[in-house]
Each structure stands twice: as structure tokens, then as C-alpha cells.
Amino acid sequence: MKLVVAGFGQCGGRIAEEFARLNKRARRHRGIEIVIDAFAVNTDSADLAGLRAIKTDYQHRILIGAGSTHGHGVAKISEAGAEIAKEDADKVIDAMRTTKQFFEADAFLLVAGTAGGTGSGVTPVMAQVLKQRFDKPVYALAVLPFEHEEETEERALYNTAVFLKSTYSVADAVILVDNQRYVRKDFSLKNNLDKINALIVEPFYNLLCAGEEKKVKHIGARMLDTGDIVNTLAGWTAIGYGKAPLPFRTLLSRWTGNFMQKSAQTHLGVQAMDEAISELSIGCSSQDACRALYLVSAAARMINVDLVKELGNHLKNLVPKAVIRNGDYPRGKGVLDITLVLSELSDVEKVRNYYSKSVDLAKEISKRQKVKASKVELTEEAGKDIPTLL
Ligand SMILES: Nc1nc2c(ncn2[C@@H]2O[C@H](COP(=O)(O)OP(=O)(O)OP(=O)(O)O)[C@@H](O)[C@H]2O)c(=O)[nH]1
Ligand SMILES: [Mg+2]
């Protein structure tokens, strides 16, 4: 599957950049393209300048709203981000169209942190415009705030709720990524975000590559292609990745017909699947998924009918309501890995909480805006008899 990736705001831009890196890796190691082009869009010129892997020209690092913000950002006001996007959407689309293979893309992936003003305001508007202009799926990758941000910044909650409601109503799927789930004790603060971003995009590597393989030896018995992904992604979505290192003896042995060995392989597969479930990008109940997809990837001799069947049975128990699609991808040597997508989730507790916590906030924020406006009227009224020098 080939994507056009656009990141909005600082977080979006940095993750779009990680997708550009993923493409370089696919090209170098596998000779295939999975990201046709990657763009970063921001109201803040300093954020755009800080990127590394996005091409440096103004058609890839796109500054919007310069007329109103002068390149200084919208300071967490998502309404301002949305207004700017309505005015400057054409600028972004014109830049995207300059990409040579633009029309070869299978889908758009729009990425943003939901807590800031630019990403949360611009993304839903761009998703709507892209849906209106092109006949391609539009997916959003929504990065939810860390716990400490939710506790201390009311705007983080409010922007997230507004983003989720608006984007869900226009995009084909919203892939939820909870920043808090990626925090690891062994990450130092400085390179924390870089590591988190790498972890966020990793599950997309095999998923996007599998259907683009041209060499027969890397094409599975059941190849997972773009159609499988498009038919799986719908509504609220979680993605996960798990791997099981192959024991030394399995690596050495060329004979896979042995019963003991087969059951050991199946066990590894189930282990990787369980890790993928526990490492999903958002906490959710697998029982709520109406669609699911898994891709098993390992050396060709490791993948056999029994393994695929066992994994299917295992997943069916975990996601009883879901239509399950699957594929195998003969790639790699020392590890067996599973990419898992749970989609069309009928409930996500975190989303429900954002909505319920933001109802009062929405009232409060609109009240404050009215008070501000009436104060302006008041000072104008009070000063009406004072002469002006202008
Ligand atoms: N995973 C991840 N999260 C990030 C990154 N940068 C910022 N965030 C998170 O994204 C949210 C803030 O969004 P930003 O992207 O900084 O804000 P913005 O969209 O640029 O909006 P404004 O700066 O308000 O105009 C917070 O929850 C941050 O924790 C990043 O590189 N990776
Ligand atoms: Mg910013």
C-alpha cells in the first residue's frame, strides 16, 4: 500500500518525518516504495525549520496562516487552526499535487497531536477537503496527550475532544495512538519523543510493505494487499505489533516437519500475537472490534498452514464479533512478528471520557469568549467621548 502522508502541527510533522524514514528503509532494504511523499504543514515556521527528514522546499514544509499568525503558531487555539485551514487548504493540496506519483497513492494518512491548536484544528478540515476532492480513503493518525498534559491543561482535553468528534465524522478511519502507552522507564527525557515516534510508526512497516513486494520469494501464500487494509480500516482503530525471537535451535534447523518444532512455532506465533494485543496503540476491549486484520511475518520456512490456522483461532476467541482478514509475509530471519489492526471499535473508553469531560469545558470556554467580547464593548462604551488621535 502506498500512502501520501501529511503531518499537521509539530507532532504531526515529526511523525510524518518518521514515515519518510520508514520509506527510505523500505527502499534501501526491500527495493519498494510505501510512502509516495511526506509533507509537514504548520502555522509555526520555527517548527517546520526543526524537521530533518522532510524535504526542505516550501512545497514539502508548508507554512499556512502566515497572514494572521506571521509564522508564530496559533498557541493552542484549535478554532484558529481550523479557520486558517479553511483559507489555506488549496495551498496544501496544490503542494501535494506537485508530487510526480501523486495519483498512484492508495490513501492519505493525516497525522496530528490532538492537544495542540494547529494539528487539532487543521486536520479535520483538511480531511474533509481531501474527501471532497479525491476518490481515495483518508485516514487520520491521532496522537493523544500524555497524562500530565490532560491533568494540567484544559485546552489539551478540549482540543482532543473537538478533534476526535470532527475528524471521526469525515475521515474513513481514526487510528488512535495514546502517547502515555509509549512511555518507557528506560527512555531518557531528551530522546523520549524520538523513540516514541519510532515505536508509533513501526507497525506500519510490514503492513504497508507486504502488498508491494514484487519478488516471488517474498510473496506469501495469502498475500495481504491494499484491498485487505482498506476493507479493514473503519472508524475508531487501534494498531499493535508484537514479536518473538526465534530460539537458536530453530534458526539452525532446516527441517520443519518435526511435530515438536511445529508446536514450538505455533507457540511463538501466539506469543507474538498476545504481545501485539497488549501493545495496542490505545487501550480498548478487543471484544468491541467489528473488523480485525493480522499479518504474520517470518522466514518462509517458519510460516506453515498450522501456524496461520492456530493464529486465526486464537484471534477469533479474542475478537468474537469481528470479520478477520489475514496474510503472511515471508521476510526476515531471526524473528517472527505479528502486526495487528482492530478496527470499527464500537466503544473506546478514552474517547468517551474526553467527550464527557469536555462538555462543561466547552460551555466554560464559550462563556469566557462572550465575557471577553462584552468587556471590549464595555471599554469602547466607556471611552466613547474621548477624542482619538487617529
Ligand atoms: N508522540 C509525539 N507527541 C508529540 C510530539 N510533539 C508534540 N507531541 C504531543 O502533541 C501535543 C501537542 O501538539 P503539538 O503538535 O505540539 O501542537 P501543534 O499542533 O503544533 O499546535 P500549536 O503549537 O498549539 O499551534 C501534546 O500532547 C504533545 O505531547 C512528538 O514528536 N511525538
Ligand atoms: Mg506548534
Query: What are the residues facing 336 on neighbouring strands?
Result: 244
- Which atom of ligand 1 lies nearest, measured to the CA of 74? 25
Query: What pLDDT is stored for residue 236 in this prediction?
Result: 98
CA distance 320 to 315: 8
Cα-trace Rg, the chain: 23
Query: What pLDDT is stored for residue 255 in this prediction?
Result: 47
Cβ 127 vs Cβ 170: under 8 Å: yes
Burial class (CB in 10 A: 0-12, 13-18, 19+), 234: middle
Nearest CA to ligand 1 atom 7: 11
CA of 258 to the centre of ligand 1 (A): 51
CA distance 9 to 73: 9
Please list the alpha-helical segments (H only) found in 98-224. 118-133, 147-152, 154-170, 192-201, 204-210
Nearest CA to ligand 1 atom 4: 11
Cβ 126 vs Cβ 89: under 8 Å: yes
User: pTM of the entire structure?
Assistant: 0.93
Query: What pLDDT is stored for residue 382 in this prediction?
Result: 84
* Cβ of residue 75 lying under 6 Å from some atom of ligand 1: yes
Distances (CA, A) of 210 to 33, 206, 274, 277, 298: 11, 6, 21, 20, 12
- In the chain, CATH 3.30.1330.20 sits at 236-345
Query: What pLDDT is stored for residue 253 in this prediction?
Result: 57
Cβ 79 vs Cβ 116: under 8 Å: no
CA distance 296 to 65: 44
* Cβ of residue 149 lying under 6 Å from some atom of ligand 1: yes
Mutation choice for ligand 1 from 11, 69, 181, 192, CB with most ligand atoms inside 8 A: 11
Burial class (CB in 10 A: 0-12, 13-18, 19+), 83: middle
Query: What pLDDT is stored for residue 258 in this prediction?
Result: 63
User: Any idea which architecture 236-345 has in CATH?
Assistant: 2-Layer Sandwich (3.30)
Cβ 296 vs Cβ 308: under 8 Å: yes
Nearest CA to ligand 1 atom 31: 11
Query: What pLDDT is stored for residue 188 in this prediction?
Result: 66
Per-residue pLDDT of the chain (390 residues; tens, 9 = 90+): 999 999 999 999 999 999 999 999 999 999 999 999 999 999 999 999 999 999 999 999 999 999 899 999 999 999 999 999 999 999 999 999 999 999 999 999 999 999 999 999 999 999 999 999 999 999 999 999 999 999 999 999 999 999 999 999 999 999 999 999 998 766 665 568 999 999 999 999 999 999 999 999 999 999 999 999 999 999 999 999 999 987 755 554 554 556 556 777 788 999 999 999 999 999 999 999 999 999 999 999 888 888 999 999 999 999 999 999 999 999 988 899 999 999 999 999 999 999 999 998 888 888 887 777 677 777 788 888 888 888
* Cβ of residue 326 lying under 6 Å from some atom of ligand 1: no
**Which CATH code fits 3-201?**
3.40.50.1440
* Cβ of residue 91 lying under 6 Å from some atom of ligand 1: no
* Cβ of residue 116 lying under 6 Å from some atom of ligand 1: yes
Backbone angles phi, psi at 108, to 5 degrees: -100, 140
CA of 119 to the centre of ligand 2 (A): 8
Q: Are strands 107-113 and 61-63 parallel, antiparallel or unpaired?
A: unpaired
Which amino acid makes up residue 151? E
- In the chain, CATH 3.40.50.1440 sits at 3-201
Query: What pLDDT is stored for residue 38 in this prediction?
Result: 98
